[in-house]
Amino acid sequence: MFLMGCVFLLPSCIEDKAEDAAHRLVVSKVDVELIQTGMLNTGSKASFDVLANRGYVITSDAEWLDVDKPTGKGRVSVTLEAKPNETAGERTGHLTVTSGKLSERVTVTQTLDPDPDDGNPVGYTYYSENFDWIAVYGGADCVGLGSQNGAKNIYSTGDALQKFGEAGLQDYNPVGKTMYACAGYFKMGATDKQTGIILPALKIGRKKASNVELTFETCPNIGGSGKADAVTVTVEIVEGPGTVNGNSDRESEAMKPDQTWKWTPMSVKLYGVTAATRIAIRSTQQGNPGVTAGEKGYFRWYLDNVKIVKAPRN
């Protein structure tokens, strides 16, 4: 009986401890900039996260500025609701997030900048590359044959490196010289050397931007042991404006291909991309720009069928 009583009392005991916990208030952003329409320049509504273990209240000092969740508790994603700026200049409002005696202030600036969207319809193709032109150099169909042998290094095979550059492509780690031509696709990496491909700049109008979806196919290399290399793939904005997957990140989360000789489709959404943006698809193990080797070990992989299309704005 005593044991049963303890079991039934547990939930209320836990709740009491939560109520007795110290106040905690965390706001993910303190500055937000909106364009004339009341949106971010990506066309999406602005948002920030609130973590308040005892609940919160949000108030605004501007009639044009509000939020969708003025009260809440725990971890909450709050979306800004801003009216279009019909004034003659930039304006600023403040959102005060209060939890007990704790408070944080979010400053919201709204410019007169117009919506930069380039106006292309959803699904419009900015870039499509199947790499079939690289097959002329005689590289093997490694993925199709299930063999790592027969890929041709573009740095020592005819004018392959020149054609690679003429296609607008860049080797993420040219010092390593581990870019290989296969039968219409690329193999990348070698023992203790990692790399990726930087794609060409997109044709987007001056002072315009777009939200896009990048799709491609990858396959890990499988060596003589029969075990797939433990490679994962990262999409990165290496130059110019833009963010990945709707937040402020410049890199995607690591993506793992199937551990067999077959192609794995992958996709990533990028926001606020312009003609100055350069996008890379690389092994996560390569690391950041300027790293000339990356992690030690075997992280070899194959890439094919890269495509970038217009994505919905929300």
Count of other CB atoms within 10 angstroms of residue 271: 24
Compute φ and ψ for 225, nearest 5 degrees: -75, -15
- Longest Cα pair distance anywhere in the chain, in angstroms? 84
Instruction: Give pLDDT tens digits for 180-237.
Output: 999 999 999 999 999 999 999 999 999 999 999 999 999 999 998 999 999 999 999 9
- Report the CATH fold assignment for 125-310: Jelly Rolls (2.60.120)
Instruction: Give pLDDT tens digits for 72-117.
Output: 999 999 999 999 999 999 999 999 999 999 999 999 999 999 999 9
Q: Range with the lowest mean pLDDT among 17-26, 135-144, 164-173, 279-288?
A: 17-26
Residue 74: its H or E element: strand 71-82
- Whether residue 289 is predicted with pLDDT greater than 90 in this model: the reply is no
List Cβ neighbours of 291 (8 Å cut-off, separation of 6 or more): 173
Compute φ and ψ for 278, nearest 5 degrees: -120, 130
Mean pLDDT of the chain: 92
- Of 267, 242, 258, residue with least CA distance to 302: 258
* Class level of CATH domain 23-110: mainly beta
Instruction: Give pLDDT tens digits for 5-37.
Output: 444 344 434 333 445 578 999 999 999 999 999
- Whether residue 3 is predicted with pLDDT greater than 60 in this model: the reply is no
Distance, in Å, from the CA atom of 223 to the CA atom of 300, rounded to the nearest integer, reads: 9
Looking at residue 288, what DSSP letter applies? S
Domain locations in the chain as residue ranges: 23-110, 125-310
